[in-house]
Copies of this chain bind each other. A is one copy, B any other.
Amino acid sequence: MAQGSDEFRLVEEPIDLPAMISAAHRPDCGAVDVFIGTTRVDESNGANVERLEYEAYRPMADMKLEEIGAEIRARWDVRHVAITHRLGPVGPGEASVAIVVASPRRGAAFEASRYAIERIKEIVPIWKREIWSDGYVWVGSQVGTRPES
């Protein structure tokens, strides 16, 4: 279960980064690390990624985000952890995931934030579909309609 001000969310609207960051400013902490995963537009064969779409298997995804929060609390002295992952279509350069960690010490803030994004990719059932100008690709599974390069 989430502790104190911790928050773990899946949202279908743009991620409210200023609100997430404000919630992490605490007088008992000296460091906040924020990691933002954004949609990178790759190009190949003259085609390019037009947008990404994220789908999740809920409520497993919600539960796994909370589990990552608990793992972080057990490993580092952190006083606030929040993770928001966006679902549905996300435009180029927009945030698909945001992690905010506050700790008395900067080393813990950096390490916990890095740990969170690696664990999200490992255990949270969220899939990304790249919509290219000439088809789509499910990232990871390599199933899709795009021509092979």
Contacts and interface: CB of A to CB of B under 8 A. Distances in A.
A148 to B, nearest CB: 23
Interface of A: 17-18, 21, 24-41, 92-95, 102, 104, 106, 109-110, 113-114, 117
A97 to B, nearest CB: 10
A44 to B, nearest CB: 14
The oligomer's copy count stands at: 2
A34 B110 CA distance: 10
22 contacts: A17-B18, A17-B21, A21-B34, A21-B36, A25-B36, A25-B93, A25-B94, A26-B38, A27-B41, A27-B92, A27-B93, A28-B40, A32-B35, A33-B113, A35-B109, A35-B110, A37-B106, A40-B104, A106-B114, A110-B110, A110-B113, A110-B114
Given A17-B21, A31-B36, A33-B35, 18 more contacts: A21-B36, A25-B38, A27-B39, A27-B41, A27-B92, A27-B93, A28-B40, A29-B93, A30-B38, A30-B39, A32-B95, A33-B33, A33-B36, A34-B36, A38-B102, A40-B104, A106-B117, A110-B114
A102 to B, nearest CB: 8
